[in-house]
Structure 1
Amino acid sequence: MSSLESLPTEIFLEVASYLSAASDLLQLSQVSRNVYAKMLPALYADVDLHGAEQCERTLAMIERSPDVARHVRKLTVHPEHESLSRPRDQYRAWDNAGVVSRCVMRAARNLDALHHFEWDGEDMLPDDRMWAELRTRCPRLKSIGTTFGCFLPRPTSSLFQFDDLREFSLTLKDGFYAHSLHVPSRESEPVFARLWDMLTLRCPALEALSIVGHSSEPSEAARLYAAHWPRLKRLTLGALVWNTSVPGQPGAAPVQAHGVGNAPDFKSFLEKHPSIECLHLVGRPSSNQLDLSALAHDALPNLKEFSGSFAHLRMLVDRAPPPEDDPNGAPVQVQNANANANPAVPATGGTTALSKTLQRICFPHAMHLRDLTPVTISRVLQSLHALTSLKVTFVIQGGYDSNGILRTIAASCPHLLDLDLTCTTKPSFFLDAFATHLRGLPRLRTLALTLVRMPGEEPLPSGAARIALANPRLKTFSIAFLPPQATAAAVAAEPPMQPVERGAFELVCDAHGIPVWLRVALWSARGWGPFGFGGGGGALPAAAGGKRRVRRWTLDLRPSGHPDVAPKGVWALLVERGPAGEEARLMVFCLALLGLTVWALVGRAVVGTGVVWEV
């Protein structure tokens, strides 16, 4: 223990950088007091508080402990995100925002290292003095996030007095739309005018901007389109008015090159910001009709991450190059590649810079699986040669070959490193078939698979073993089984629907890259029955009251005849925590019942009562 405690703080912080779970950091810090003191920078670098009670206790501790507060670099507060368990709390719930914001105000005097602060409230406004204290007491604070609910802050609020911000985030809650605050009015216009003045005039070095809403109703964004931030890298937008006027209609702006008019719109905004690396369009495609095909062919040359609908990605990929003039001076008409009515026909547009820069794609909205979907997806994804991460959700429909989408992903994205695939509504495919198609992704490192269980599917650990053996380069992966009635909206909701069974797996290989062990952590809503026997009841969602249990064990992937595998005895098989151990214990239990029955029958026969005991 003395040798461990003698290690310098830098070594502990380096070890902490490899621990992703907060529980692992906490367990390491509890080794001794000396280790705890050295782990403080890692423990309190990112503080995320939920509920008024947790916020009050933790912020009071930060106020009393300057030695802990000086390590806090990111602070996120959710004052109203905890269910009320005690009736007396209901009388003060309306003032949670005020109480918690005043706690932040008092703790701000010690948060001299704070870089990022996020206020995630619901309807009520925080005490405005909180923003004033954060602005004056935290000189390194360059990233803030807040929410607008049923009430808007005053135009003179200290929230709009920050200077030289690097990141800003605004989330519009349900109450914002319920009170029609998204409609320009005398109440909302002065507030948003001060907000845009702060961002456009006093924050010229803004690098990340996020404005999203919980509703599909649009809001005015004319000031956004006229803004210019030369260092903008991350842009997240949702529930905005996409100012895309249709040429030829009354009031439409005159069309210039690539369809951009004189009035600023979203297309011109993107063309003015070639530094954007991450673009997230959160609004639903049905509510925000955005035509990105009119973007200039050389727009977004550094885009590395995209999140939005598949139609938006297709428009970005199929952008046509600018028309070239022939020797006679007449412009050559180039048909827009996105105007191709048949998605199975390859695009005619030129190759954009996205084929070499786009690395991560996320489709937040579920796509309905139809016959043409694999062909359409393949045509778009095949042109993205740098793609390494993909997250997609499909709605399985009866009568369609769901295995086709697996073949499409494997053939179109052979360089994937991370894959997050969700299939809802109906059973899609067996795990052994998925493992077969997974061989087409030899570079895959992480996998998250969520689907509805097929009838007759093998146990989850057995299917995970097949996947691990099919792709030994996997490091970690997870598999979750959804209930049959799960819809795409329920999976994407907050909080999401709990799976019936979920497993997290970590693959361990030898020096030659051959799979050796599989570390298993299995969560299930099944009733396990007595003594850990399976089959104690049907699978129940957690919301329906089913008790969830976690089991952890190590599964040996080497064959039974391997020289390094020790033969298992009967006792080792009985105490095994895997499916084989469950079956062995169930068999022993049945044999014990049979033995007791035979013993009772023989005993009655010896006594000579002549009574037959029916079992």
Structure 2
Amino acid sequence: MHQNEQTRDSITKSTRRRSLKTLFQLPLSSRSPDFISASTAEAVGSIPADIVREIVDLLTPADVLNMSLTSKHLRSMLLPALYDTVILKSSRTCKITLSMLAQQRHLCGLIRKLAVRPNYYLSWPRPDEPLDERWVVDMIKEIADGLTSMHTFDWDGLELPKDCLWDSLRLRCPQLKSVFSNVGHWALNPNSSLFKFRGLTSFSLIIRHGLGGSELFPVPEDLPPQFWDMLVNHCPDLQELAICSFSSSSRVFDFERIAEGHWPRLHTLTLGSFGYQSDFSLGPHSLINENALSKFLETHRELKYIRFLWNFKRWMSPDEIPMPIAPTALPALDTFIGVYQQLAELPHPEKVETLDLTCEPIYETRLDAVCPLLSKLTALTSLDIWTHVFDPHRDHTPFFTAILAACPNLTDFHFMCTTSFTVKPLKQLLAQLYRLPSLKRFSLTKGHKYLDESMLSTAMRILKHTPALRQVNIRWAREQCPNHLKQEGSYDVVLGRDARPESVAVVERGIPLVGRPFCRRFKVGIGFGKYNEPEERREGKGKRTSWVGGASFGVGFKAKSFGENRTVDSADGPPAVEATAFDAISSADSIPGSPDTSASSGSSWSSALSSGTL
């Protein structure tokens, strides 16, 4: 659902799951070893520069920002860390940061990864303000000569940018090897400069969320021959590839020609949407029914991360989906996102560490097929699963027991139930968590009713029942709300000096029954009694950000550190720091523990809730 620490730098596996979180979101914190240059590698006070470097490597972007504001010398030392990854997650931050970079060109050379999201269509809980995307393109073209270190660029606007942007980046950014772009309603230009890149190591072309549509069987759209020529003939070292749709009721790509490609170093693959065709056979036809997909997987032995987006619309998936693979194939695969029927075909289930089954709900009638598969995943530590609990008054203990008993080594567990999930079934689920002795992070996404207890009460109930947890995430799903999300909260256990739980750091935001969207942060005593007065930031116009916490750039629930309480504005430092604070590493648009881009392609619920929109 709406899907925390993953990228576009080589989208490698993170502590929880690489959701392109991995391809669809830039990493929360990727530190290159040369962040502190020799020219600034002198002691800070009595602390050697090497120690400062080690400290910075362990900090979140928000904490690096706060540290940089303590002195001019530290700011100079930490600028490369602050600007390594710049993510402009709203129209406002695009305007602020791009204007600032145009005036302070020396900062452009520090940027290695740049993501721009004007008119961000997944902005929540308040819609993004409108911005002319042609202006964004012109500003990026203006600073392109200075982006000498940029190796990753991600365009995430409403539509493909003007073609001149791709020409500018291709000709003026010599290090650019990773290109990510989405498309909206506009048709692809077969002669687009986007298809003239050469030697890429990462490429993503996705149909964005929010295009609407009600087509049950949209006709797959052919990708231009120039697109396939670029990938198949001119990018032999490709390592990451994504071709998919998150609006499969409106527009889908025909990606069958993927079978023509051979990229020996490919380690990350995202494809979709798969699903029923008008005759109710599974498609794309040649990939599924002629085993072209199986043969493709067999020839790419470096694959570590596979994500197949399925959408069965109003129907259930078939009991079997053929994908015969040779027993020697996929020896390195450790992350799989898709449907359980394909999971059954994997030749090395004992190596899978991360599994996401949120393409469609798992019903009780299918437990006999699903649980034996889970039990074969002996290395599994992270599981996302979508279930339906139809009658909250029944005893669902056998259902929960079957799932948890099949995967006892989980450290991260995301349980998603978009039907009503009241206190009674929650207690039944919690009573079985003892079967997961290593569990550190538990996330619950549930259908919301107005008589439900508060998110904080639910989180405290979970922590009280399972005190070994270090983080709880709660999300309320509601179909009528933007992105099908009503409220969400992240609850991190804070340890005292004796390493015992002392309090719970809380960040909540959402849409109340009455009033404006809210975002608040506070702490609760571990005794579940009194708590500190919440610091709340309303999302209304003209309101300042009242806190800076860890940024959330990923798909999935992730652990994030809890940043210091501090208002960041131009008084805190020069424009460069201000711009970074607003969004490149700010929590003004995100909260610790938010899900990220790990979108699942199931129903519109699953797709929106796991997309990493927060």
In the superposition, the TM-score normalised over structure 1's length comes to 0.67
1:504 partnered with 2:491 = yes
Q: Which residue of 2 aligns with 1:402?
A: 396
When residues 543 and 79 of structure 1 are mapped into structure 2, their CA distance, relative to the original with a 3 A threshold, is farther
1:477 partnered with 2:477 = no
When residues 4 and 375 of structure 1 are mapped into structure 2, their CA distance, relative to the original with a 3 A threshold, is farther
User: Partner amino acid for 1:438?
Assistant: L
Q: Please, which of 162, 166, 177 is the counterpart of residue 142 of structure 1?
A: 177
Shift in Å at residue 70 of structure 1? Answer: 1.9
User: Partner amino acid for 1:272?
Assistant: T
Structure number with bigger Rg? 1
Cα shift readout 1:197-226 (whole Å, capped 9, x = no counterpart)? 011111001011001112145532232111
1:296 partnered with 2:326 = yes
Cα shift readout 1:51-79 (whole Å, capped 9, x = no counterpart)? 44532331232233233222211111122
Q: What are the residue-to-residue correspondences of 1:80-159 with 2, within 5 Å?
A: 80-81=119-120, 96-123=132-159, 125-152=160-187, 154-159=189-194
When residues 396 and 212 of structure 1 are mapped into structure 2, their CA distance, relative to the original with a 3 A threshold, is same
Q: Which residue of 1 aligns with 2:501?
A: 516
Q: Please, which of 221, 233, 243 is the counterpart of residue 201 of structure 1?
A: 233
Q: What are the residue-to-residue correspondences of 1:278-427 with 2, within 5 Å?
A: 278-285=305-312, 291-313=321-343, 315-317=344-346, 352-354=347-349, 356-370=350-364, 372-398=365-391, 400-427=394-421
When residues 156 and 3 of structure 1 are mapped into structure 2, their CA distance, relative to the original with a 3 A threshold, is closer
| Separation in structure 1 between the aligned mates of residue 532 and residue 154 of structure 2, nearest angstrom | 46
User: Partner amino acid for 1:553?
Assistant: K
User: The residue matched to 1:197 in structure 2 has which SS?
Assistant: helix
When residues 449 and 174 of structure 1 are mapped into structure 2, their CA distance, relative to the original with a 3 A threshold, is closer
Contact 1:389 1:417 in 2 (8 A): yes
User: The residue matched to 1:31 in structure 2 has which SS?
Assistant: coil
Kindly indicate which of the two structures has a greater share of residues assigned to helix: 1
Contact 1:80 1:122 in 2 (8 A): yes
Q: What are the residue-to-residue correspondences of 1:401-550 with 2, within 5 Å?
A: 401-430=395-424, 432-451=427-446, 464-465=459-460, 467-468=462-463, 470-480=465-475, 482=476, 486-487=478-479, 495-499=483-487, 502-508=489-495, 515-521=500-506, 523=508, 541-542=511-512, 545=515, 548=518, 550=520
Cα shift readout 1:488-543 (whole Å, capped 9, x = no counterpart)? xx68xx734122x73513142665x6x43132315377xxxxxxxxxxxxxxx437
Q: Please, which of 89, 96, 102 is the counterpart of residue 63 of structure 1?
A: 102
Shift in Å at residue 306 of structure 1? Answer: 0.8
Q: What are the residue-to-residue correspondences of 1:140-179 with 2, within 5 Å?
A: 140-152=175-187, 154-173=189-208
When residues 574 and 145 of structure 1 are mapped into structure 2, their CA distance, relative to the original with a 3 A threshold, is closer
When residues 197 and 404 of structure 1 are mapped into structure 2, their CA distance, relative to the original with a 3 A threshold, is same
Shift in Å at residue 446 of structure 1? Answer: 1.6
User: The residue matched to 2:485 in structure 1 has which SS?
Assistant: coil
Q: Please, which of 269, 291, 297 is the counterpart of residue 270 of structure 1?
A: 297
Contact 1:220 1:241 in 2 (8 A): no
| Separation in structure 1 between the aligned mates of residue 95 and residue 456 of structure 2, nearest angstrom | 42
| Separation in structure 1 between the aligned mates of residue 180 and residue 504 of structure 2, nearest angstrom | 38
Contact 1:378 1:408 in 2 (8 A): yes
Shift in Å at residue 384 of structure 1? Answer: 0.7
User: The residue matched to 2:359 in structure 1 has which SS?
Assistant: coil
Contact 1:368 1:395 in 2 (8 A): yes
**Percent identity of equivalent pairs:** 27
In the superposition, the TM-score normalised over structure 2's length comes to 0.67
| Separation in structure 1 between the aligned mates of residue 112 and residue 325 of structure 2, nearest angstrom | 38
When residues 27 and 120 of structure 1 are mapped into structure 2, their CA distance, relative to the original with a 3 A threshold, is same
Contact 1:478 1:502 in 2 (8 A): yes
Shift in Å at residue 49 of structure 1? Answer: 1.5
Shift in Å at residue 165 of structure 1? Answer: 0.7
User: Partner amino acid for 2:369?
Assistant: T
User: The residue matched to 1:306 in structure 2 has which SS?
Assistant: strand
Shift in Å at residue 240 of structure 1? Answer: 5.7
Structure 1, unmatched stretches of 5+, are: 84-88, 318-351, 526-540, 559-572, 579-615
Q: Which moved further from structure 2: 457-466 or 40-49?
A: 457-466
Contact 1:232 1:275 in 2 (8 A): yes
Contact 2:471 2:490 in 1 (8 A): no
Contact 1:237 1:283 in 2 (8 A): no
1:18 partnered with 2:58 = yes
| Separation in structure 2 between the aligned mates of residue 197 and residue 154 of structure 1, nearest angstrom | 15
Q: Which residue of 2 aligns with 1:77?
A: 116
Q: Please, which of 199, 211, 215 is the counterpart of residue 248 of structure 2?
A: 215
Shift in Å at residue 577 of structure 1? Answer: 5.3
| Separation in structure 2 between the aligned mates of residue 241 and residue 410 of structure 1, nearest angstrom | 28
CA RMSD of aligned residues (A): 4.0
Larger relative contact order (CA 8 Å, sep ≥ 6)? 2
| Separation in structure 2 between the aligned mates of residue 362 and residue 577 of structure 1, nearest angstrom | 37
Shift in Å at residue 437 of structure 1? Answer: 1.9
